[in-house]
Every structure is written in structure tokens, then in C-alpha cells.
Amino acid sequence: MKAIEAKIVVLGSQGVGKTSIVAKYISNIYSKEIGPTIGASFFTCKINLNNVKVKMQLWDTAGQERFKAMAPMYYRNANAALLVFDVTNHTSFDEVKGWVLELQKNVQESMFLLLVGNKIDLEERRAVSHEEAVMYAQSIGAQFIETSVVRDQGIEQVFISIGLGLINLSSESKCSSMRRYESKDSLLSSTHSSMTNLSGIQYYDGVHMAIDISQSVEANGVGRVEIGGAWEREAYAHGYPQKTGWCC
Amino acid sequence: MSDISNFSDDDDSRQEDCALVDALSELNFEENNIENIRKRKNSDNQEQSETNSDPCSSNSLNFVDEEYDYLHDSEWINQKCQVFILSTAGKPIYTLHGDEDKLNPLFGLLQALVSVVSVSSNGNPDEDDDCIRSITAKNTKFVFLIKNPLILVGVNKSKRSEQQILNQLMDVYNQIIFIVTLKHMKNVYEKRNNYDLRKLVAGSERWIDHLLKDEKQTRISNNSFVSLMHSVRILPMEATTRDNITKTIQTNCSKIKNLVFAVLIANNKLITLVRMKNYCMHTDDLRLIFNVVECSESFKTAENWLPLCLPKFDPNGALYCHISYLSDDCEACLLLMTVDQESFSVLSNAKKNITEKLRRSNYMEAINEGIKDKGINLKTIGVPDIRHFLYKNKKNTQLLCSEITTPYNTLEQFERIEAMYYDLHNRIHRVSRPLKLIYEMHEHEIQLAWVTANYELYATFEPLVEKKSIIIAQVNKLLKYIKKEEDKIFMTGTHIF
């Protein structure tokens, strides 16, 4: 079985729910008491998609200003970035734009970008419209998903689309820092708990198709993948085809 | 053993009867004073005093109209302990109770008090001798700690001494340095002296809250005494087990370059500490680490990688710290501190190996056993007349406490006995007249404090023990027990990589 190992960084302002999204997916917990992340937390998780085993090394960073200087340490060599903003807070959306600029400036390699608008359960306080976010995602070649940790909407999709994005990235060999190897584990022996949830989805050919909407998600575009231009070859977020002899 | 009755001589502290509220209502008066001083002064300090008094005067208007009620809010005003942090420019940074922004006029007042005293002396705020140190108003003490660019003010209505409040403020100050490093803070303030430090401290305020023991539910704990005694508590376990755990850490970390400290802690107690040759971990730094680990639930779920500054080790630089719990079934937290910010994966591997080795050798169970320990059980060692004690091993600044049992296991009673210990500690260590022994009979208990070259003992007895010989016998028995179990309840020796 083919396997890839990739580094993913989660970026965004303070209090937008970065840790909540990750914790919800990895350990299926949601707690209001979780407290702000200090520095960064490191998680690993595995997903099997399209017969490829994707091993993710997730860096959940802190949104506080004083940790901003540390960010390059985490996004350097990252293969994907999860850019999280709070749909009720327009400033956090603007700050995501700052992160994108910083990534474009400092990261040479291709990177899969996923824009996540969190807290859609607070619809009445929404400050960033769906259209605005989709437009922006398209302009930077990112995918866009809206999520709610409280209602468990879109969380699964976030990680599936990262996985598919990474597979796609690796199949086009644009990314020298991503590790590719043959895994001896069979699909069934995967220990990850979310495997069962994934079973309905993993047979899709994810590359040109939006992720299926599971029952828990309302059919209003919420929590589903918006296809930006991310899948076309020219439309990667940024970065250039791999140069020979390039070293990171 | 003789009776030493000890009366506090607080006569000089009985000054005019003014509480915090009264001090507040003097705001306008104070402000006029500043104005006068400003008019009178035409020295080179004028520029500074101008910037200093600006926030004060602009806010005093709001103060009278809208904020008046909040400042007199009875819940806020009746707190026994208040801590305020502001910048020397008068910007609010932190308040233990209430909301900094609503208390803005108060911060103006505090800043005014500090600047009036330092300006009217010789105008050099850096000079320690010319700073306001404290104000005593009946039972309320206002203690100032001026550490440019910060001013920390502690207000306390309990019996704590000025020095004890100052120590508390020092801890808070160190916690801030722990978060932002002194160098960074100075840089920021050099660039902009009206900088809002809350931006940098954001997300870590609860570390300060926790340090000041604000939470009621965890209040009844021997942990409250570590700051009083300036020491750390040790997780009890067999000496050989502890040695083997230490060796496990040593063997897995000895090849890692630039690793400065490895600390294993559980339940606010130290299990072991391994350090780089020639570098020491100060007790104060260790207490800050305990504090941070204790109130960061998120450390439990993942590996964490963060820069931390140990103020006693080096206030100007940060160590990168790999923090993680050993496993779900063993709530011991391992901290690996390095100066190399690239070594996360190396440390992560080392941690994995340590965990595996500890699990294979069944040391996890030994640690779990230690976590359950609530302190020395006095009944089982045969000293039933001692209700509670604190024993500080002076040589290695380690603290041993007995289990908190009736009658001190209610919040009210615990706070009472805690205040008594504070008072006792203060009197035996009074600078003007240090004592060796205090023996007192109170209404509800008998208390003994004894300071020797090697240890300090503070013990509380049943009130009805009449014969002093019984007390002496029981104290001796307790000391004998501590001596016998020393290897288990204290950590002796130091370990290097």
C-alpha cells in the first residue's frame, strides 16, 4: 500500500478554534475549558484514502502575538496549511490573509492550502459571508470549508480534503519534502478511530469530486468542500514545479 | 522547651483609618497634587511626569460619572487580596479581580502614587531607595514592587507581612518574565513606552491567576504552602525506584546535545530532575513550572513545544521546552528543556523511549502510587496530637506536609490555619528580631515553630494537650520518622546528564 507522510501546519488568529478543530477530530472531544495553546502542540494521525495511507504530522500553533516569531519553524517544510478564521470575526479573516502573504513569501515549495471558516453555529453573528470567503479561497488557489466544532460539522471533511490534497500533491511530485514509501500495513489494520467514519468516503475518487455530504451536515453548502482552483495543475496555491537539485 | 509568647508590635502601622475605597475617592485630590508638583517642577523630569499623569487626568472624568459604581462594587472591594500590574506609563496590564479597563482610574491613581514619591525624592525611578514601598492603613496593606518598566501592587487585608506580599509580587513578576522574557519586554518598552503588555501576555493571564491561588475548589491543598516556604514538594517513592527513573532519563538523554534540564513532575510534586553540568534549576523557577503545568490542561492531549524563560536561570533568554504527559494512564509530566530550537523530533523520540522503558519496568505504577499520596498520615506514624505540620528541609529547599484532615478540610478553616502559618512564619523570620522557637496556645489549637540550621518545622497540635512533655515527645517522634524515611520523602543528591 502506498503511503505518504506529510507535515501540516494550522495557522490563524487567537481564539478562532484551531485547537478545538484538531482536538475534535483526533480525540472527538470539545471542551470550552481547553484554554489557549502555548507555543505549539504536535499531533499525528493517519487516514487511508484512495488506497493511500496518509500520515499527518500536525502542528497546532498558538494564535497569540508573542508566538508569531515562532511560526516559521512550523510552516517551513510544511506540505499543507490549514488557515482557520472565525466567521463571526472579520479581523480574524483579515489576519488569515496576512498568513497567506507570509507563506507565499517564505515557502518555496508547493503547499496545499485549506481555508476553514469556523464557528458557523453562531450564524446570527456571522461577519464573514460565505461568498467573500469562497472568492478569497479561489483567488489564492485554496479550498474552503466551513465548520462548527460544537455541532460537529465539516470537521471530518477538513481532514479528508487535506489528505486528498496531499495525495494529489505527492502524485504530481511537486513536493520534495514529503516522504513517500510503501506501507506494509493493510487497510484493515489501521488503528485510527475515525477509520470507520471514513469507510463511506474512501472509495471515492477524491481528486475531481467534492466530498460527499454525510447525514450530519445540512445541505446548504455548509461544511462541504468548495472547489477552488486547487486541483488544476497551474492553480496550486503557490510554489513552483520542483527544481532538480533543490534542497530544503 | 519554654513558653515564648510573642506579641506582634504593629503599633506603628496604626495610621490613619483609610481603606481602599477612601483612597479611591481621593483620586481628584491626588491628581491636583500631581498638577502642583508639575507646576513647581521645571527640571528635566518634566517630560516624564507629563506623560505619566496624562492617563490619570483623562480618565478621572469617566471615573466620577460612569465608573464610580464599579470601583465601589462591593464584591470587588471586599476581596481579601488584590494584585494590580501596570506599566510605569500607567497602562493597566493585569488585575486579579475585576476588569482592567473598568478600573482604569485606579491604575492612574497607583501610578500617581508611585511617581509622586519617586519624583519628590530625587527623580530617579530606578533608584530603589526612592520608591514607595508600602502603605499601611489599619488592616489593609498596599505593597509596591517597582521593576521598570512594570509596577506591581499587592493589596492585602489578611495578616500577611509586607515581605510576604512582596514575595508574592516577585513571583508574579517572575511569571511575567517567564512568559515574555525580560529582554523582550525591555525592548518593547524602549520602542514605545505606552505599549500595552496585555498583547504579549494574552492567553497566559490564568497562569498569574493560578499563581495567586484564586480558585476556590483547589484551594485546600498543601500546595498553598510552597510559596510561603520557598520550596518544592517531592513525590514520595522508594529511593531505588527514583534512582532508576532518573537513570532511565539519563541514558535516553545523555547523547542529546544542548539539553539543559529534564524534569519529571506529577501532582505538583517533583519526581526527578536531571541537569546539564554546571547549571542549576532554582526553586523559584521550578515553582513557576509547576504552576504552568498545573493550569494547562491542553498539555495532556498532545506533545507541546514552546519557548519558556526561567527568570532565575536567565531572564533574558528562553529555553525551548518539550512538554508532554507520559501516557493517559500515568499523569506525570515530562519537560525537556533545550537551547536548540530544532531539536523537537529528537526530544520527541527520547520521550517515547523513556515512556516505553518506564512502562516495561513498571515504574508507571510506582509513580501512580505516589500521585495518590495526600501527605504524611499522622495517625499511622503515632503522633495523634499533631493535627498538621510543615517541614522544610533547608539544605535542598524541599517541603514535607502532612495530610490535611479535620478540622482544616473546610475552606474557612483552611484559610484560617493558612493565615496562622503565614503569621508564624513572619514572626519567626522577622528581620529586626529573628527567633528560633515559638510556642503558642491559641483558642483552637497549639502552634509550634522551630527553626534550626537544617530544617524548619511548623506544627499545629490539638488544643487540649496540657503537658509540654507530650508535645516534645511527639515532635521528637515525628522528627525521627522524617529522618528514617528521608530517602523516600525527599530527593537527595543531584543528577547530571
* Cβ-defined contact of B202 to A23 (cutoff 8 Å): no
Angle B239-253/B344-360 helices, nearest 10 degrees?
150
- How many CB pairs lie under 8 A apart between chains A and B? 71
Each residue of B331-374: pLDDT tens digit? 899 999 999 888 999 999 999 999 999 999 999 999 999 999 88
Q: What are phi and psi of A24, to 5 degrees?
A: -65, -40
Query: Any idea what the Cα angle at residue A156 is, between residues A150 and A158, rounded to 5°?
Result: 100
* Cβ-defined contact of A35 to B204 (cutoff 8 Å): no
Q: What pLDDT, on the 0 to 100 scale, is given for residue A28? A: 82
A30 close to B (CB below 8 A): no
Q: What pLDDT, on the 0 to 100 scale, is given for residue A189? A: 37
Q: What pLDDT, on the 0 to 100 scale, is given for residue B60? A: 42
* Cβ-defined contact of A23 to B301 (cutoff 8 Å): yes
Q: What pLDDT, on the 0 to 100 scale, is given for residue B199? A: 86
Query: Any idea what the Cα angle at residue A212 is, between residues A208 and A217, rounded to 5°?
Result: 140
Each residue of B317-328: pLDDT tens digit? 899 999 999 988
**What span, in angstroms and rounded, lies between the C-alpha atoms of B267 and B104?**
38
On chain A, the residues whose CB falls within 8 A of the CB of B298 are 19, 34-35, 37-38, 41
> CA A167 → CA A173, A188, A213, B171, B178, distances in Å?
10, 20, 21, 50, 42
The Cβ of residue B446 has, within 10 Å, a number of other Cβ atoms equal to 21
Overall pTM surpassing 0.90 (yes/no) = no
**What span, in angstroms and rounded, lies between the C-alpha atoms of A56 and A26?**
11
On chain A, the residues whose CB falls within 8 A of the CB of B203 are 14, 35-38, 62, 64
Q: What is the ipTM of this complex?
A: 0.73
Angle B411-428/B162-180 helices, nearest 10 degrees?
100
Q: Which of A159, A6, A9, A174 is nearest to A75 (CA)?
A: A9
- Residues in contact with B148: Cβ distance below 8 Å, sequence separation at least 6, in sequence order: B88, B125, B126
**What span, in angstroms and rounded, lies between the C-alpha atoms of B81 and B105?**
19
- What secondary structure letter does DSSP report for B134? E
Half-sphere exposure of A87 (CA within 13 A, CB side): 26
Angle A155-171/A18-27 helices, nearest 10 degrees?
90
A76 close to B (CB below 8 A): no
- Residues in contact with B395: Cβ distance below 8 Å, sequence separation at least 6, in sequence order: B454
Window 96-155 of A, Cβ < 8 Å to B = none
Q: What pLDDT, on the 0 to 100 scale, is given for residue B18? A: 38
Determine what percent of chain B is predicted with pLDDT higher than 90: 49
Q: What pLDDT, on the 0 to 100 scale, is given for residue B47? A: 40
Rounded to the nearest integer, the mean pLDDT of chain B is: 82
Which stretches of chain A drop beneath a pLDDT of 50? Answer: 186-222, 224, 226-248
**What span, in angstroms and rounded, lies between the C-alpha atoms of A58 and A49?**
17
The answer to whether residue B58 scores a pLDDT higher than 80 is no
Half-sphere exposure of B270 (CA within 13 A, CB side): 27
- Give me the mean pLDDT over the B151-166 stretch: 90
Each residue of B207-220: pLDDT tens digit? 898 888 766 666 78
> CA B113 → CA A155, B34, B398, distances in Å?
53, 9, 39
**What span, in angstroms and rounded, lies between the C-alpha atoms of B110 and B186?**
21
On chain B, the residues whose CB falls within 8 A of the CB of A66 are 179-180, 184, 199-200, 202
User: Which runs of E-coded beta strand occur in B138-295?
Assistant: 140-147, 150-156, 232-233, 259-266, 269-275
